[in-house]
Amino acid sequence: MEFPEEEKKSLNFIEAIIEEDITENKNEGRIHTRFPPEPNGYLHIGHAKSICLNFGLADEYNGLCNLRFDDTNPTKEDVEYVDSIKEDISWLGFEWDGEPKYASDYFEQLYEWAIKLIEEGKAYVDEQPQELISEQRGIPTRPGIESVYRNRPVEENLELFAKMKNGEFPTGAMVLRAKINMSSPNMHMRDPIMYRILHQTHHRTGDKWCIYPMYDWAHGQSDFIEGITHSICTLEFEIHRPLYDWALDQIVEGSYRPRQIEFARLNLSYTVMSKRKLLELVQGKYVSGWDDPRMPTISGFRRRGYTPESIRWFADRIGVAKRDNVIDVSLLEFSVREHLNKVAPRKMAVLNPVKVIITNYPENEIEQLPVNNNPNDENAGTRMVPFTKEIFIERDDFMEDPPRKFFRLGPDREVRLIGAYIIKCEDYKKDADGNIEEIYCTYDVDTKSGGTGANRKVKGTIHWVSATEGVNAEVRLYDRLFLDEDPAGHKDKDFKEFLNPDSLKVLKDCIIEPSVTDLNNCDNMQFQRLGYFSIDKESAEGKLIINRTVPLRDSWAKRK
């Protein structure tokens, strides 16, 4: 499915940079981007922005985009994450160039470059304790203090570094530091650490290595090895750029050189996007897993019924810039509705039922009525829905004492049942507490859909399900992603305070029309007037569990 026409935008700032680079024929006009996740969690909607950007730019300029796992910290990483990341990117509809790449594939090369650095007197082994190194680095407003090991002879550094590699020292005993500038106003330039000792099994290299490069000694080099031209990352790496360039200066020969460009990460209202916090939700069993339908992860959205198209449209719409932003979830939901409105077949379900008895309809009769699958799509066809003497309608669709502008059912009022007849309310029964128990109506045979009297105008049309032929299911209704308050401005508060304690309980019985059970798992549908839904992949024993993807806009509800 193509993007909506009107969405063609003018250039964003990254496109402008790229076009300029092409004009100047930098890197022979080649465009090669990359998406470099650390496999330490599942991808979330924020990553989707980065994915769409990197892969999208490559498409747009006939370039390539790599998938590279930035796996330089074995303590947090796992193959489970590698697999989920690949799956999510593919599901979004993007294809990376060649095989997935791994920073760990370059460990040998990185090590050799580090030796070269030492030989040139630009790096040294520091065996001071972590706390001391950190203290000596100083504070942003004051210069740091040089390490006593800073001027260690090259030979000694070489020897020590080799021993580090060979596992002769315990974890944390010493590090390799770049010799740059201890009084730089940029903290990252104050002799940054390039290698640390970590006796930790790596998910890919196993126990082959016990020293691991830091981000700053791995990222730019990896970009260089892969021939990346535009290394696009989020704003928090802006301060690393001088170091990125410094690291490249040490290895680049010739004219090809990657370039780092930063953009503002996505913030979504009502949505927690910190990987650390999401991990906490998973580990604390607040949710059923990374793909819990309430999670703002790509897999969570998938399970909830979001489509890849809708997420891509969303990413396209929010644009890219350098200023901090908070995007309202309603824009995401708009994108979802926009797509689902076109493709989701319409079905009927009643969430909060009240029984309607059609007094002049024959007992035991079951009439199969053809109902449009999608009135906006002529090719969508029809389905048969059973109509019977007793039906359920939504409790909200009947009012004893209707206010002005209420178009649905009430005493002596007429209403059309979708795909069926016009009915008129003649009477109703209340229980001891005053709740409506049953509503008695008559139907007008001539008004059957497509029939002779079908053109008669009534103000309202409501949905219904046969009381005797309908099927029972469970629906999960989720409101915002799982926060009932906007976390913006509450950064430091414990985010669990915002976790809606009722969100898992929003599980209701509902009655659905039989044709719903024909849907394949995870297919999308629209329950008319209720929203878009999808069948959960984990249907309970015999009972369908249905997630609400997103509610329909409801201007009547807003009135109230």
CA 74 to chain centre: 25
Is residue 275 part of the annotated active site? The answer reads yes
Query: Residue 222 phi/psi, 5° resolution?
Result: -60, -40
Written as one string, the DSSP assignment of 29-90 is G--EEEE---SSS--BHHHHHHHHHHHHHHHHTT-EEEEEE----TTT--HHHHHHHHHHHH
10 Å CB burial of residue 407 (0-12, 13-18, 19+) is middle
Check residue 239 for interaction with RNA (CB under 7 A): yes
Check residue 6 for interaction with RNA (CB under 7 A): yes
Check residue 331 for interaction with RNA (CB under 7 A): yes
The 526-555 contact track toward RNA, x by CB under 7 A, reads x-xx----------------------xxxx
Check residue 175 for interaction with RNA (CB under 7 A): yes
Check residue 443 for interaction with RNA (CB under 7 A): no
The span of 112-120, 123-131, 152-160, 499-507 binding RNA (CB under 7 A) equals 123-131
Q: Which of 204, 312, 416, 480 binds RNA (CB under 7 A)?
A: 416
Q: Considering only residues 180-199, where is the footprint of RNA by CB under 7 A?
A: 185-188, 193, 196-198
Between 6 and 365, CB nearer to RNA:
6
Q: Considering only residues 462-521, where is the footprint of RNA by CB under 7 A?
A: 462-463
Query: What does the CA dihedral 137, 142, 147, 150 come to, rounded to 10 degrees?
Result: 100
Written as one string, the DSSP assignment of 178-217 is E---TT-SSGGGSS-EEEEE----BTTTBTS-SEEE-HHH
Q: Considering only residues 338-397, where is the footprint of RNA by CB under 7 A?
A: 338, 341, 346, 372, 374-376
We find the least distance from the C-beta atom of residue 504 to RNA, in angstroms, to be 27
Q: Which of 201, 449, 500, 539 binds RNA (CB under 7 A)?
A: 449
Query: Residue 355 phi/psi, 5° resolution?
Result: -85, 140
| End-to-end C-alpha distance for the chain, whole angstroms | 37
What's the rounded Cα separation, in Å, for the pair 157 and 126? 9
Between 118 and 164, CB nearer to RNA:
164
Check residue 9 for interaction with RNA (CB under 7 A): yes
Is residue 135 part of the annotated active site? The answer reads no
Check residue 101 for interaction with RNA (CB under 7 A): no
Q: Which of 325, 352, 500, 539 binds RNA (CB under 7 A)?
A: 325
Residue whose pair of structure tokens reads 């104050």 in the numeric block: 190
Q: What is the DSSP letter of 271?
A: -
Q: Which of 535, 399, 380 is nearest to 471 (CA)?
A: 535
Between 288 and 341, CB nearer to RNA:
341
Check residue 236 for interaction with RNA (CB under 7 A): yes
We find the least distance from the C-beta atom of residue 265 to RNA, in angstroms, to be 10
Q: Considering only residues 56-85, where is the footprint of RNA by CB under 7 A?
A: 70, 72-73, 76
Residue 340 near residue 307 (C-beta atoms within 8 A):
yes
We find the least distance from the C-beta atom of residue 341 to RNA, in angstroms, to be 5
What's the rounded Cα separation, in Å, for the pair 202 and 208? 8
We find the least distance from the C-beta atom of residue 32 to RNA, in angstroms, to be 19
Is residue 60 part of the annotated active site? The answer reads no
Q: Which of 318, 384, 436, 506 binds RNA (CB under 7 A)?
A: 318
Give how far Cα 209 sits from Cα of 105, 218, 453, Å.
Answer: 12, 15, 81
Residues 6 or more apart in contact with residue 455 via CB below 8 angstroms? none
The 262-281 contact track toward RNA, x by CB under 7 A, reads --x-----------------
Cα-trace Rg, the chain: 31
* 3-state SS class at 366: coil
The span of 48-56, 91-99, 109-117, 442-450 binding RNA (CB under 7 A) equals 442-450
Residue 354 near residue 392 (C-beta atoms within 8 A):
yes
What's the rounded Cα separation, in Å, for the pair 218 and 212? 9
Q: Which of 113, 314, 406, 533 binds RNA (CB under 7 A)?
A: 406
**Annotated catalytic residue, options 152, 163, 257, 265:** 265
Check residue 238 for interaction with RNA (CB under 7 A): yes
**How many residues make contact with RNA (CB under 7 A)?**
99
Written as one string, the DSSP assignment of 499-542 is B-TTGGG-EEEEEE-GGGGGSPTT-EEEETTTEEEEE-SS--SS
The span of 27-35, 295-303, 323-331, 503-511 binding RNA (CB under 7 A) equals 323-331
We find the least distance from the C-beta atom of residue 440 to RNA, in angstroms, to be 21
Residues tagged active-site = 38, 265, 275
